[in-house]
């Protein structure tokens, strides 16, 4: 016989104080504490709630922090934060899969709402966590896990709940957007732009999660799950990073009327969901092309609402803490009212393979500069039903570089074309391969 579901904890009737337990007090956690101190009076005036930090669990209690906490609040015993009867809402801002996953499940099992910004955890275990929250009848809120301060999860699950969402395309990693902006506007190499991003604190010492697309893939999985009500994990997301891009690629894209961005794309294709992260060429007149530096933006297409765009700071302590605080207020309000928001029961997703993707493509092919080369290249593209929309030829001494932009084509046909081109005796190298957003729809 299974255990009875936890009874949601509710503050005593008439008590407006909601006590928070924080797991983690790093960049975001410290910013959240500071923001609470700054906004406490305004929050109470607007909501009637008094939010108080009761416990803060950290790995090292001796580490200097930019905020002051009351005596006895800080603890190295993370379980104590969850188990403390005085804690009403648990806020997880420590990151990582463990012990965060165990602690979040323990909090939900104890009937305590949880607010988290942990994209890695949600992308790996969201159905389990959401089901646990539903069984306990409490909130699991995660606005900060997707796009920092940008409100996206709430509009997707509330404002657009009555619409049939078709496609979501977004710039959801500020580090890569900063790097690509520098490569485009200043002509910096990838290595130079990355070094600047690291010096400004936009990129970690080990930037792999950002530049190889792992961070964006985790966010894409969360977006797809919320938007389409299906179980999408990070491993379901086709992922490509930006490390293979050169300044020449960026410059040629600009010359052709495009800006290169690392995009997260989630779309419904029949009864399947296509989810992917990769660099793409975006037309200059598309709203996403104008998103610069470390900013994020997400473009949403709905059957009824049409096109919407959400834009703002996607990272940083205070912007992310702002999103966390918004969720905390929602969770505290729902706790007092005895209600909760649920996204349990995600159905298994049918993931559309990347080979079935239809898009336009940008290709570069280095060939010997001699008569008959174009005919051989054209024959290879025609053999796989890949139609060329635009072509330029650049001289390089004894060689030439062919720059091709296709009409809409199936990915597997384009990949087969590339395989054939590599076998031609007149082809020295098949270079850059990028997908193109418009003017035909990807």
**213 and 307 within one domain:** yes
Domain count, the chain: 3
Instruction: Compute the distance between CA of residue 109 and CA of residue 129 in angstroms, rounded to an integer.
Output: 10
348-361 confidence digits (pLDDT tens): 999 999 999 999 99
Mark whether 331 and 430 lie in a shared domain: no
Q: How far is CA 169 from CA 124, 216, 226, 372, in A?
A: 21, 11, 14, 41
* Cα–Cα dist 438/442, whole Å: 6
CA distances from 239 to 131, 148, 213, 276, 307 (A): 27, 21, 6, 6, 25
Which residue stretches of the chain have pLDDT < 70? 1-15, 439-442
Do 178 and 136 fall into the same domain?
A: no
Q: Tell me, what's the pLDDT at 11?
A: 54
**Residue 214 sits in the same domain as residue 169:** yes
Domain, as residue range, for 419? 354-436
Please give the structure tokens belonging to residue 226. Answer: 């919320």
d(CA 87, CA 163): 37
Return the H-helix or E-strand segment holding 413.
helix 411-423
Cα–Cα distance list, 210 to 111, 202, 274, 344 (Å): 35, 10, 21, 29
CB 262 within 8 A of CB 245: no
CATH number, domain of 126, equals 3.40.50.720
243 and 177 in a single domain? The answer is yes
Smallest CA-to-CA distance from 250 within 189, 194, 184 is with: 184
Q: Where are the alpha helices (DSSP H) in 338-401?
A: 373-383
**Residue 405, H or E segment:** strand 399-406
My answer on whether 219 and 302 are in the same domain is: yes
- What are the tokens at 418? 């590339």
> Between the CA of residue 78 and those of 56, 83, 328, 332, 433, what are the distances in Å?
8, 9, 19, 21, 47
- Is residue 7 one of the residues assigned to a domain? no
Same domain? 84 vs 211: no
On whether both 42 and 175 belong to a single domain, the answer is no
Asked whether residue 139 falls in the same domain as residue 157, the answer is: no
In a domain, 6, yes or no: no
* pLDDT tens digits, one per residue of 328-351: 999 999 998 888 887 777 889 999
Helix (H, G, I), strand (E, B) or coil at 198: helix
User: Quick one: 144 and 160 in the same domain?
Assistant: no
Residues 266 and 285 in one domain: yes
Q: Count, in order, helices (H) and strands (E) of the chain.
A: 14, 19
* 66 and 87, same domain (yes or no): yes
Q: pLDDT at position 1, please?
A: 44
Give the catalytic positions in this structure.
Answer: 219
Residue 5: inside a domain: no
| CATH number of the domain to which 415 belongs | 3.30.70.260
């Amino acid at each position: 016989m299974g255990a009875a579901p936890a009874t949601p904890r509710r503050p005593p009737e008439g008590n407006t104080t909601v006590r928070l337990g924080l797991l983690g007090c790093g960049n975001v956690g410290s910013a959240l504490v500071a923001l609470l101190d700054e906004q406490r009076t305004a929050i109470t005036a607007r909501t009637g709630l008094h939010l108080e930090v009761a416990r803060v669990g950290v790995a090292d209690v001796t580490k200097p922090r930019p905020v002051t906490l009351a005596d006895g609040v800080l603890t190295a015993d993370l379980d104590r934060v969850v188990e403390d009867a005085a804690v009403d809402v648990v806020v997880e801002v420590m990151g990582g899969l463990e012990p965060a996953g165990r602690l979040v499940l323990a909090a939900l099992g104890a009937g305590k709402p949880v607010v988290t910004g942990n994209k890695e955890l949600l992308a790996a275990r969201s159905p389990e966590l959401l089901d646990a929250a539903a069984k306990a009848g409490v909130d699991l809120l995660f606005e900060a896990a997707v796009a920092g301060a940008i409100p996206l999860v709430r509009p997707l699950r509330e404002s657009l709940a009555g619409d049939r969402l078709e496609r979501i395309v977004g710039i959801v990693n500020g580090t890569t957007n900063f790097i690509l902006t520098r490569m485009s506007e200043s002509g910096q190499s990838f290595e130079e732009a990355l070094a600047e991003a690291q010096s400004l604190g936009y990129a970690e010492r080990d930037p792999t999660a950002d530049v190889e697309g792992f961070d964006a893939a985790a966010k894409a999985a969360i977006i797809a799950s919320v938007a389409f009500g299906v179980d999408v994990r990070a491993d379901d997301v086709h992922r490509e990073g930006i490390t293979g891009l050169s300044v020449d690629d960026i410059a040629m894209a600009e010359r052709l009327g495009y800006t290169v961005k690392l995009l997260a794309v989630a779309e419904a294709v029949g009864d399947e969901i296509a989810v992917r992260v990769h660099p793409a060429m975006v037309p200059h007149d598309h709203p996403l092309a104008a998103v610069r530096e470390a900013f994020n933006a997400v473009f949403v297409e709905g059957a009824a609402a049409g096109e919407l765009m959400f834009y703002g700071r996607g990272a940083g302590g205070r912007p992310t803490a702002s999103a966390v605080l918004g969720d905390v207020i929602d969770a505290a309000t729902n706790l007092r009212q005895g209600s909760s928001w649920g996204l349990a029961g995600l159905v298994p997703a049918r993931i559309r393979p990347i080979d079935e993707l239809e898009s336009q493509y940008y290709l570069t092919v280095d060939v010997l500069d001699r008569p008959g080369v174009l005919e051989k290249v054209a024959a290879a593209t025609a053999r796989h039903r890949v139609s060329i929309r635009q072509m330029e030829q650049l001289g390089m001494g004894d060689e030439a570089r062919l720059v091709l932009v296709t009409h809409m084509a199936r990915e597997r046909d384009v990949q087969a074309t590339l395989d054939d081109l590599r076998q031609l005796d007149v082809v020295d190298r098949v270079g850059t391969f990028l997908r193109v957003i418009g003017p035909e729809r990807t």
